[in-house]
Amino acid sequence: MKIGLRTWKTVIAVFICFMIGELRIDGIPFYSAIAAILCIQKTTSDSYREGKKREIATIIGAIVGVIYLYVERLIPPIQFDFLRYSLLSLLLIPIIQLSRLIKQEDGTFLMCVVFLSVTVNHNLDSSPISFAIARIIDTSIGILIGILVNHLPFDKIGKAISSHSST
């Protein structure tokens, strides 16, 4: 079975994200890799569209999550996880409505995922904004790498290599 061009582009983009992640102190290359994978599309215009959607959704989800965590710290702690999880679940309603309002319905799921990632996994962090910023940066890196790798003329490079090696 032949390995397709998009597969190779995906592998290269993920590898670059991991290498950049090794250079960053507080980055999580997992998020860059996810963004890169999703930005490797059939066309470069599709890659740009996917990247824009991911960037907007990540920023909104992270900001709303951080705001929630700072507000949560101002009120008496919720002692029962049931109540906290109920509130977090209900807060998905305004996030979903916001995505519709700003006409970013394609990014709704990601806004919700990032919001929950920030509020559920990082509620005890001393500075939840640090994770949110790192998450936005990691996603931006992955988007950029995915778009750049997808834009490179791998098909021409591959043809040149294969024609050169057959002579």
Per-residue pLDDT for 157 more than 60?
A: no
Average pLDDT rounded to a whole number, residues 122-142: 88
What is the reported pLDDT for 91? 96
State the Cα–Cα distance between residues 148 and 135, nearest whole angstrom.
20
What is the reported pLDDT for 18? 96
State the Cα–Cα distance between residues 126 and 34, nearest whole angstrom.
26
Average pLDDT rounded to a whole number, residues 28-54: 94
Q: What is the pLDDT of residues 62-115, one digit of tens each?
A: 999 999 999 988 887 777 788 889 999 999 999 999 999 999 999 999 999 999
Task: Share the mean pLDDT of the chain.
Answer: 89
- 145 SS3 class: helix
Cα angle at 76 between 72 and 82, to 5 degrees?
A: 70
What is the reported pLDDT for 143? 97
CB atoms within 10 A of CB 125: 13
Average pLDDT rounded to a whole number, residues 125-137: 88
CB atoms within 10 A of CB 138: 25
Per-residue pLDDT for 125 more than 80?
A: no
Per-residue pLDDT for 138 more than 80?
A: yes
- Tell me the CA end-to-end span of the chain in Å, nearest whole number: 24
State the Cα–Cα distance between residues 44 and 147, nearest whole angstrom.
7
State the Cα–Cα distance between residues 14 and 9, nearest whole angstrom.
9
Per-residue pLDDT for 31 more than 80?
A: yes
Amino acid letter, 93: I
pTM over 0.75: yes
Per-residue pLDDT for 55 more than 80?
A: yes
Write out the E strands in the chain.
none
